[in-house]
Chains A and B, each alone.
Chain A
Amino acid sequence: MHRLLPLLPAVPLLGAALLVAGGRRLPRPVAETFGCLVAAVTAALAGLLLLHSTPPQAAWVGGWFPKGGESVGIVLVGDGASLGMVTLVSLLTLAALAYSWHYFDEPPRGHTGSFPALLLLFQGGMCGFALAGDLFNAFVFFELMSVVAYALTGYRIDEAKAVQGALGFALVNSLGAYFMLMGIALLYARTGELGMAKIGQGLDAAAAGRGPDALTLAGFVLFLTGLLVKAAAVPFQFWLPDAHAVAPTPVCMLLSGVMVELGVYGVWRVYGLVFSGPGGIPAADATRALVTLGVLTAAVGAVMCWYQRHIKRLLAFSTIAHTGLFLVGVGVLKAQADEGTALYVLAHAGVKAALFACAGMLLDRYGSVDEFSLHGRARELRGVGIMFGVGALALAGLPPFGTGLGKAVSEEAVGGPLTALYIAASALTGAAVLRVAARVFLGLGPRPGEPRDEEREEDETSGSGEEPETRQRLDRIPATMRSVPAVLLVAALAVGAVPGFAHAVGERVDESGAWGVFSAVHWTAAGILLDLLSTALAVAVAGLAVARPRLLAAPGWALPLRRLQSGHVGDYVAWLLVGVALLGALALPGVLG
Chain B
Amino acid sequence: MSAVLHVLPYLIAAYVFLIGCYGLATSRNLIHAVGCLAVCQSATYVLLLAVGYRDGATAPVFSDLAPGSRPVVDPVVQALTLTDVVVGATVTALLLALTVQISKRHGTVDPDELRELRG
Contact = CB atoms under 8 A, between A and B. Distances in A.
Interface of A: 72, 136, 140, 143, 147, 150-151, 154, 157-161, 163-168, 170-171, 174-175, 178, 181-182, 184-186, 188-189, 194, 241-242, 245-246, 457-461, 562-563, 565-571, 573-574, 577
Contacts of A461: 116-119
Given A184-B80, A567-B118, 5 more contacts: A160-B116, A242-B117, A459-B119, A567-B115, A568-B112
Nearest to B99: A167
B79 to A, nearest CB: 8
A567 B43 CA distance: 27
Given A188-B77, A461-B117, A573-B24, A568 B111 contact: yes
Closest 5 CB pairs of A and B: A567-B118, A458-B119, A160-B105, A567-B115, A189-B51
A185 B77 contact: yes
Given A185-B44, A570-B24, A164 B17 contact: no
A171 B118 contact: no
Contacts of B99: 167
A161 B101 CA distance: 10
Contact of B40 (A72, A157, A170, A175): A175
A182 B83 CA distance: 14
Contacts of A184: 80
A154 B119 contact: no
B33 A171 contact: yes
Given A175-B37, A188-B51, A458-B118, A170 B112 contact: no
Nearest to A245: B117
Contact of B17 (A160, A170, A182): A182
Nearest to A218: B14
A92 to B, nearest CB: 23
A510 B47 CA distance: 36
A160 B107 CA distance: 10
Interface string B78-104: 001001100100110011001101100
A101 B96 CA distance: 30
A245 B47 CA distance: 37
B25 A577 contact: yes
B94 A570 contact: no
Contacts of A188: 51, 76-77, 80
Contact of B117 (A164, A178, A181): A164
18 contacts: A143-B87, A147-B90, A164-B117, A171-B33, A171-B37, A175-B40, A178-B17, A178-B41, A178-B43, A178-B44, A188-B51, A241-B117, A457-B118, A460-B119, A566-B115, A567-B118, A569-B27, A574-B25
B21 A573 contact: yes
A533 B111 CA distance: 45
B118 A460 contact: yes
Contacts of A181: 44, 48, 84
A540 to B, nearest CB: 26
A164 B115 CA distance: 9
Given A182-B17, A460-B119, A154 B98 contact: yes
Nearest to A243: B117
A167 B98 contact: yes
A567 B116 contact: yes
Contact of B21 (A72, A159, A175, A563): A175
A158 B98 CA distance: 11
B16 to A, nearest CB: 11
A252 to B, nearest CB: 15
Contacts of A143: 87, 90-91
A147 B90 CA distance: 8
A147 B17 CA distance: 21
A170 B90 CA distance: 12
B36 to A, nearest CB: 9
B26 interface: yes
Nearest to B34: A171
Contact of A570 (B83, B91, B105, B111): B111
B30 to A, nearest CB: 7
A570 B36 CA distance: 11
Contacts of A72: 76
B20 to A, nearest CB: 8
> In this complex, which of A147, A166, A167 has the most chain B Cβ atoms within 10 angstroms of its Cβ?
A167
Contacts of A174: 37, 91, 95
A411 to B, nearest CB: 32
Contacts of B117: 161, 164-165, 168, 241-242, 245-246, 461, 567
Interface string B38-77: 0011011001100100000000000000000000000011
B91 A164 contact: no
B41 A164 contact: no
A163 B21 contact: no
A568 B112 CA distance: 7
Contacts of B101: 154, 157, 163
Nearest to B107: A160
Contacts of A165: 117
Contacts of B90: 143, 147
A151 B90 CA distance: 11
A568 B48 contact: no
B60 to A, nearest CB: 12
Contact of B87 (A140, A194, A245): A140
A31 B44 CA distance: 39
A189 B44 CA distance: 13
> In this complex, which of B51, B76, B77, B118 has the most chain A Cβ atoms within 10 angstroms of its Cβ?
B118
A170 B115 contact: no
Given A136-B80, A185-B51, A188-B77, A170 B116 contact: no
> In this complex, which of A161, A178, A188, A246 has the most chain B Cβ atoms within 10 angstroms of its Cβ?
A178
B3 to A, nearest CB: 16
Contacts of B94: 147, 150-151, 170
A170 B95 contact: yes
A569 B25 CA distance: 7
A565 B106 contact: no
Nearest to B84: A181
B111 A569 contact: yes
Nearest to B98: A167
Nearest to A570: B25
A146 B59 CA distance: 33
